Amino acid sequence: MPREFHRIAIVYGGDSPERQISLVTGKAIHRALRSRYDTVDLLDVTDPSDQRLSPDRYDAAFIALHGGFGEDGTIQQVLEEREVPYTGSGSEASRIAMDKVLSKMNFSRAGVKTPSYLVVRDPSEVPNIKNAAFEPDCRLVVKPSNLGSSVGIHVVDDPKALREAIADVFSLGGECALIEEFIPGRELTVSVLGERTLPIVEIAPASERHAFYDYKAKYTVGESTYFVDPSLAVGVRERIDIAARMAYECVGCRVYARVDVRLNPQNEPYVLEVNTLPGFTPTSLFPKAAKAAGIEFDELCVNLLELSTLVSRGESRVLANSR
| 278-304 residue pLDDT tens | 988 777 899 999 999 999 999 999 999
pLDDT tens profile 221-259 = 456 789 999 999 999 999 999 999 999 999 999 999 999
What pTM value is reported for the model? Answer: 0.87
Q: Is the pLDDT of residue 55 over 60?
A: yes
Which residues, 6+ apart, have CB-to-CB distance to 64 below 8 Å? Answer: 10, 11, 12, 22, 25, 26, 29, 277, 280
Which residues, 6+ apart, have CB-to-CB distance to 113 below 8 Å? Answer: 107, 243, 268, 269, 270, 271
Give the span between the Cα atoms of 81 and 76, in whole angstroms: 9
| Domains detected in the chain | 7-87 (3.40.50.20), 116-181 (3.30.1490.20), 186-296 (3.30.470.20)
DSSP-based three-state secondary structure for 97: helix
Q: What percent of the chain has pLDDT over 90?
A: 63
DSSP-based three-state secondary structure for 322: coil
Q: Clarify whether 22 is annotated catalytic.
A: no
Q: Where are the beta strands (DSSP E) in the chain?
A: 7-12, 39-44, 60-63, 117-120, 140-144, 154-156, 177-181, 186-193, 196-197, 201-205, 224-228, 256-263, 269-275
Q: Clarify whether 135 is annotated catalytic.
A: no
CA distances from 57 to 6, 28, 35, 39, 257 (A): 10, 22, 19, 10, 27
Q: Clarify whether 262 is annotated catalytic.
A: no
Q: Clarify whether 18 is annotated catalytic.
A: yes
Give the span between the Cα atoms of 314 and 144, in whole angstroms: 34
Q: What is the mean pLDDT of residues 146-168?
A: 79
Q: Clarify whether 149 is annotated catalytic.
A: yes
Which among 16, 103, 106, 275 is annotated as catalytic?
A: 275
At 129 the pLDDT is 72
DSSP-based three-state secondary structure for 61: strand
**Closest of 151, 129, 149 to residue 140, by C-alpha:** 129
Q: Clarify whether 125 is annotated catalytic.
A: no
**Closest of 44, 104, 128 to residue 270, by C-alpha:** 104
Higher pLDDT, 45 or 146: 45
Q: Is the pLDDT of residue 5 over 50?
A: yes
Q: What is the mean pLDDT of residues 61-74?
A: 94
For the ranges 32-46, 76-90, 254-268, 306-320, which has the lowest average pLDDT? Answer: 306-320
Q: Clarify whether 47 is annotated catalytic.
A: no
Q: Exposed, middle or buried, 299 (CB in 10 Å: 0-12/13-18/19+)?
A: middle
Q: What percent of the chain has pLDDT over 70?
A: 85
At 158 the pLDDT is 80
Q: Is the pLDDT of residue 120 over 70?
A: yes
Give the span between the Cα atoms of 188 and 144, in whole angstroms: 20
At 171 the pLDDT is 86
Higher pLDDT, 67 or 110: 110
Which among 146, 149, 150, 308 is annotated as catalytic?
A: 149
At 78 the pLDDT is 97
**Which of the listed ranges 101-110, 117-126, 140-149 does the model predict with the highest average pLDDT?**
101-110
Q: Is the pLDDT of residue 1 over 60?
A: no
For the ranges 12-26, 54-68, 138-152, which has the lowest average pLDDT? Answer: 138-152
